[in-house]
Amino acid sequence: MTALTHLSDDEVAFRDTVRKFARREIAPLVREMDEHAKLNPALLKQLFAQGLMGIEVPEQYGGQGGTFFDSILAIEELAAVDPAVSVCVDVQNTLVNNAVARWGTEAQKQTHLRRLATDTLGSYALSEAGAGSDAFALAATATQDNDIYVLNGQKLWITNAAEAGLFLVFATVDATLGYKGITCFLVDRDTPGLKVGKKEDKLGIRASSTCEVVLDQVRVPATAVLGEIGKGYKVAIETLNEGRIGIGAQMMGLARGANDHAIAYAKQRKQFGKTIGEFQGVQFTLAESAVEVESARLLVYNAARLRDAGKDFVAEAAMAKYYASIIAENVASRSIEVFGGVGFTKEYPVEKLYRDAKIGRIYEGTSNMQRVVIAKHLLR
C-alpha cells in the first residue's frame, strides 16, 4: 500500500491557517463548552465565516472549492484542540455536504449546498433504536400521498441535531423491499412534525450535540428526495465510507493534541532536580505515542488521497478509522500518566481528550464493523 502523504504548499498553508484559528479562537472556549455541553453559537458562525463548513463545496454554490483531503486536514487540526468542534465540521463536510453534492439535483444544490456552505448546519439522521451497526434495519417510514411523502419515526443519536437547520432523513418507502426501500429525504428543521427531542448527556465530545429526532406526520414534497426512491442505502453507504476517514482524522488529531500536551508538560515539570522529560521512562512513553500518531496519520492521509484520486479506498478507510480510534485512547491515556495526578483533574486538557477518545471506537461504524469490512476485502 503506497502512502500518498506529501503536502503541497497550498495544503500546508491551509493546515497552518486552521491550526492558528483553532488555537486562537477555539482553545479558550473548550472547557466552558464541555462543562455546559453546548457549542458556542458565536464560534459556529466563525466556522462558517472561515469557510470550514463548505470546504469541498464548489465555489459556484458558495463553498471553498477545496478537496476532500483539505477537509481531512481541517478535521485533524480542529481535533487537536477540541474533538467536539471537529466532529461538527466533520459531519458537515464528509457526510452532509458530500451527499447533497453527489446525489442532489441542480435545484437542490443551488438551494441546499449554498445554505450548508454559508450559514446552515446539516445533520445526518440515519440511526434508530434498532438500527445502529445494522444501519438498514430502519423503522422510520415514508408513505406516499400523491406528490407528497409523509415521514414517521424516531431517530436517535443524531449529531448536530440541536443546531441543525437541514436534516438528511433516511426512511423506508416499503418495508417488504428491505434495504432497497430506503430513501433519503432533505427536510428543513421548521417542517411541521419534525421535532428535535432529548439531548444526550455524554461522556465526551460534549459540546457536539447528539439528540433524538422525532418525525410525526412530516410532509415533504417529492422534490425533497435526495437521489432516487429506494437508493437511500447507496447514499448512506458511500457517504459513511468517506465519513470513516473523517473520524480517523478526528481521532488522530486528538491523539496528536494529547501527546503535544504531554511533551510540553514533560519539558517544564521538574522532579528530583530535573525535568521529567529527562527520564527515560517518560521519553519512551512520548516516543511510543509519537509512533502511533504518525502511523495513524499515514493511514488517514493515504485513504483521503485515494478517495480524491478516484481509487478504491473502502478498506483503507476502515483501517484508518479502526487504528486511529485505538491509538487515540492509548495516547490520551498515556498523556494523563505523564501529567500524573493533575492529569486526572479538569484543570488540564488531557482528561477531556481521554473522555473524547472513547466514542471513536463506536460511531460511524464500531471497531468490529471495521474489522468485518477489512476482512471482506482481504478475502474477496
CB atoms closer than 10 angstroms to residue 278 = 14
Expressed in percent and rounded to 5, the helix, strand and coil fractions of the chain are 60, 15, 25
| Nearest to 302, CA basis, from 341, 249, 250 | 249
CA 183/CA 236 separation, integer angstroms: 10
332, 348 contact by CB (below 8 A): no
Instruction: Determine the angle formed by the axes of helices 232-268 and 68-81, rounding to 10 degrees.
Output: 40
Catalytic one of 56, 163, 242, 364 = 364
Cell of 315: 478498506
Nearest Cα to Cα of residue 336 among 324, 320, 347, 325: 347
In this structure, the dihedral spanned by the alpha carbons of residues 27, 33, 38 and 43, taken in order and rounded to 10 degrees, is -30
SS3 assignment, position 306: helix
How many whole angstroms separate alpha carbon 355 and alpha carbon 192? 37
* Residue 364 bears catalytic tag: yes
Q: Which residues are catalytic?
A: 364
